[in-house]
Amino acid sequence: GRRRVGCTWSFMSTADRIAELRAIMTTHGLTRGDVARMLGLTPRPGGSHGTVDGWLSGARGMPAAKLELIGMKAPGWKTSRQVV
């Protein structure tokens, strides 16, 4: 997969950040609810969160630090959540 080096996240446009978030989600099989939980947010009953929905729709700007955190947590997220 694609990997960012250094602090290039902060130089991405809003559209590029949305595309990068979607790519991370697709690559790692993540739902909107997964992304919310990664950030310590509680998904609503439908499985999403307004903040994540706002980022994906482009209605809210996504902080570079949040995208970077999601990018770091995503690779092991699903396997770390499986019940043994």
Q: Kindly give the residue spans of alpha helices, DSSP state H, lying in 29-49.
A: 32-38
pLDDT at 73 over 70: yes
pLDDT (average), residues 20-36: 95
Residue with tokens 């996504």: 62
pLDDT at 84 over 70: no
Percent of the chain with pLDDT over 90: 67
Residue with tokens 């499986």: 82
